[in-house]
Amino acid sequence: MIERPNAVIDLGDNTSRFGTPPAALRVFADAGPGDASEYPAPDAGALRAALAEVHGVPPARVVTGCGSDDVIECAIRAFAREGERLAFAAPTFSMIPEFARNQRMEAVPVPFLPDGAWPVDTLLAARPHVLYLCAPNNPTGHVPGGDLERLLACGAGLVILDQAYAEFAGRMRIEAPEHPRLLVTRTLSKAYGLAGLRIGYGVASEAVIGRIGRVRGPYRIGRLAERAAVAALREDHGWAHAHVALARAARAALSAALEAAGFRPHASEANFVLLPLAGAAAVARRMLALGVRVRAFTGLPGSGDALRITVGPPPEMDAALRALAAATGEAADAVALRRADR
Ligand SMILES: *Cc1c(COP(=O)(O)O)cnc(C)c1O
């Protein structure tokens, strides 16, 4: 049995492994007592202005929240009632069925088509009150094909397009169809390396933003978090860009190394790689004992058991590959031993 090391390399949550925007850290160094004793701005106006500038939309089309989780959940609360349907292509972000449950909605998971495209017809046939789409999708990492315009054009409910990983697919700016019922969500938790601040946002029509705003209420974002986020957006766009480039290079190297080792990773446009692997949960436990945390999934539609590995700098990827080889080797040894026992 190997001791669990003190310093675990955490490749389980897709947060940034490439550091923190320096302008955001300066804000914390310069903090004063009022930043703790006074309320923040009720609707994070400075942050909305900065985000509006990044994406080239009016501030009235931006809503912020305590992580994009919060924006998504507020949107669901604003648009759906108990008993209504929340449809999504499966597998996807694990919080979505939970949000449906919290709202006493009916979750309607529809498997992706075999080629990874949106199951457009089946999603539309579900007549959802809220349709959740994620691109690049978590945990598969792919950008689904299929007719997004048709998904938007049909039905009367809210469509959420979760772009938490879009920067890693080469989209620093939101490019989404103009549609009155579409909410595009993003986060500073991934490409901007600020998961600890809990800053998420959405861009939509003014009508959708207004409706979410009434559910959201004031003060979702702390003073220092807002100021640090604004500093990162205004001063560290280059930092984020460079970090994304490093993550993309690390992703390509990780995928190539996994393939060279005989694995079959999914092609990814995000900052993680999904690796179908029988017995993934046991492998993840062994990897953790070796100092590397990854996320295990059991019985994913279309993939079965799988590991999701966040991409990080080369030394972390080397450690992950070594732990994976040792953990799967140990598993193979255990199977061989069991066979020998018989
Ligand atoms: C990480 C993630 C988020 C972002 O969560 P935050 O609440 O903004 O930290 C949103 N959607 C998906 C699919 C994610 O993987």
**pLDDT band (50, 70, 90) for residue 339:** low
Whether pLDDT at 186 is above 90: yes
Give the Cα separation of 203 and 174 in Å (integer): 9
- pLDDT tens per residue, range 78-137: 999 999 999 999 999 999 999 999 999 999 999 999 999 999 999 999 999 999 999 999
pLDDT in tens, 260-288: 999 999 999 999 999 999 999 999 999 99
The SS3 assignment for 104 reads coil
Q: Using CA atoms, how far apart are residues 116 and 132, in angstroms rounded to an integer?
A: 16
Ligand 1 in reach of 95 Cβ (< 6 A): no
Dihedral sign of CA atoms 15, 19, 23, 28 in order:
positive
pLDDT grade, residue 342 (50/70/90)? very low
Which domains does the chain carry? 9-16+238-330 (3.90.1150.10), 22-235 (3.40.640.10)
Which residues, in sequence order, are bridge partners of residue 183? 160, 204
CA-nearest of 253, 268, 271, 265 to 307 is: 265
What is the pLDDT at residue 311?
A: 98
What is the DSSP code string of 283-331?
HHHHHHHTTEEEEEEEEETTTEEEEEEE---HHHHHHHHHHHHHHHHHH
As a whole number, mean pLDDT of residues 227-254 equals 97
Predicted local confidence at residue 74, as pLDDT = 97
68 CA to centre of ligand 1 in angstroms = 6
The answer to whether the CB of 20 is under 6 A from ligand 1 is no
* Average pLDDT value over all residues in the chain: 93
Question: How far apart are the C-alpha atoms of 16 and 6, rounded to whole Å?
Answer: 20
In which band, very low, low, confident or very high, does the pLDDT at 53 lie, cut at 50, 70 and 90? very high
Residue 310 bridge partners (DSSP): 272
Q: What is the pLDDT of residue 252?
A: 98
Whole-angstrom Cα distance, residue 60 to residue 47? 12
Q: Specify the pLDDT at position 128.
A: 95
Instruction: Give the pLDDT mean for 163-181.
Output: 91
How many angstroms does the Cα of residue 133 sit away from the middle of ligand 1?
Answer: 13
Closest ligand 1 atom to Cα of 13: 1
User: What is the Cα 7 distance to its own chain's centre?
Assistant: 24
Query: Given this model, what pLDDT does residue 5 score?
Result: 54
**Cβ 162 under 6 angstroms from ligand 1:** yes
Helix (H) or strand (E) holding 232: helix 223-235
